[in-house]
Amino acid sequence: MIGNKKMRAIGAAILAVSVVGGISACSSGTSGASSSAGGSYTFWDPYPQFDASSDWAKLIAKCGTDAGVTIKRTGYDTSDLTNKALLAGQQGNSADLLLVDNPVVSTLADAGILTSTDENKLDTSEIQKNILEAGIVDGKTYGVPIGANTLALYYNKKVLSATGVDISTVKDWTSLTAALAKVKAAGKKGITFSAIGTEEGSFQFLPWFWGSGADLTKLDSSQAVSALTLWTDWVKKGYAPNSVINNTQTTSWQEFATGDYAFGENGTWQLGNVKKAGIDYGILTVPAMNGGDAAAPTGGEFMTIPVQKDAARYATSVKIAKCLTSTDNFVTTDNTLSYIAPTTAAQQAQVAQNPELKPWVAAVAAAKGRTSDNLGTKYPKISQQLWTAVQNSLSGSQSPEAALKAAQSAAAAATK
């Protein structure tokens, strides 16, 4: 029987859904069914764009066959998947395996829907610690990440060359801003990013926020103000376009893909598109304020095993999960999904196949889960106030200081 805590978590998940939306590109979902008995196991994922003929669906089917069962897979859009997972858990009718976006793990774990790795014995010893952290709630780990994506700066070598900017000199905020000033003075466009008033805006602001040394529990710190001032000044000075206020990651990418911009903040998932655009590009990890790599947020999903009425089902679910998270299958899956694998061995195999992934491996190594620092289900409430502050500052309706002070007050009230 699911208690009141789990019922409250369903409401919290509606906010968590907004955290996920826009970070992974998914189309609308298809209908699914709950677990069935015997040799059939259910698997829900957030990839409705992959039909039965896809490499992803074939891999799932093979892992089922290897485990001696048939897998009934359903792909939902991320928002729908979260809500269906919560409702199914409330009814005691969860899918056997759930693949969910990493910020959702804490919501489902808080609702008592997931088994921990201590209980199901999934091995996480080889998983990169910073990627695994998104699935840790109150010291327990819920699931195994199948891969991660994150953000970095794409740069246009042609634009930089034409404006006399040496990318090797861009090491911190001061040198990056100087490069943008030089680009603008030469009549070119500086940097584009997404600052829209949704989770995408927070997702893109976090590398700068964390790169300042700021902490999500104190949105109005002097470090946080420095980060928001950086973005606000870029817009005021014309180094970034006014369109960033409404840009999604997709529309921001479309701006960079014109070939007019020196820099564009975006993710691993745009690697195929940058080649289609014909841009001679490079990748720069988002610099921290005083140099070094800033922590960017991790995107990507966790393979989880929900609580079942029939505990005998866990053994087969674990076999399937282990198959899908083996080194060879990590490489197959993550290449398909444009993810960086979560283990060193699989990352090395990816880079051997595609050397262009090397800077992304470094970016993922510096990345951080949005729900890390044991924020769990508090994160969506904090993030909402963060993106609101970004909007208010970039639009000129509030100063960075005032916007973040209001955000901290609202976030503190919402997370009591």
Q: pLDDT in tens for each of the 416 residues of the chain?
A: 223 334 344 444 444 444 444 444 332 233 333 333 459 999 999 999 899 999 999 999 999 999 999 999 999 988 789 999 999 999 999 999 999 999 999 999 999 999 999 999 999 999 999 999 999 999 999 999 999 999 999 999 999 999 999 999 999 999 999 999 999 999 999 999 999 999 999 999 999 999 999 999 999 999 999 999 999 999 999 999 999 999 999 999 999 999 999 999 999 999 989 999 999 999 999 999 999 999 999 999 999 999 999 999 999 999 999 999 999 999 988 888 889 999 999 999 999 999 999 999 999 999 999 998 889 999 999 999 999 999 999 999 999 999 999 999 999 999 99
Q: How far apart are CA 404 and CA 399, in angstroms?
A: 8
Q: C-alpha distances in angstroms, 106 versus 29, 143, 144, 317?
A: 22, 11, 13, 20
Helix (H) or strand (E) holding 234: helix 222-236
Domains, the chain, ordered by start? 4-148+299-365 (3.40.190.10), 151-296+375-414 (3.40.190.10)
What are the structure tokens assigned to 253, written together?
A: 């990418």
Cα 328 to Cα 336: distance, rounded to the nearest angstrom: 13
User: With contact defined as beta carbons under 8 Å apart, do 364 and 148 qualify?
Assistant: yes
Q: Determine whether 353 is exposed, middle or buried from the number of CB atoms within 10 Å of its CB (0-12, 13-18, 19+).
A: exposed
Exposed e or buried b per residue across 204-238, where buried means at least 16 C-beta atoms within 10 angstroms of its C-beta? bbbbbbbbbbbebeebbbeebbbbbbbbbebbeee
Q: Which residues contact 180 (CB under 8 A, 6 or more apart)?
A: 190, 191, 234, 239, 240, 262, 263
For residue 9, the model assigns a pLDDT of: 44
Of 363, 337, 189, residue with least CA distance to 262: 189
Amino acid 212: pLDDT: 98
Q: Considering only CA atoms, which of 4, 120, 21, 2 is closest in space to residue 380?
A: 21
pTM given for the model: 0.85
Q: What is the SS3 assignment for 413?
A: helix
Per-residue model confidence (pLDDT) at position 21: 42
Per-residue pLDDT at 77: 86
What would the pLDDT profile of 219-238 be if each residue is shown by its tens digit?
999 999 999 999 999 999 99
Return the pLDDT at 158: 98
3-state secondary structure 283-332: EECCECCCCCECCCECECEEEECECCCCHHHHHHHHHHHHHHCCHHHHHH
C-alpha 356/C-alpha 334 separation (Å) is 14
| pLDDT for res 384 | 96
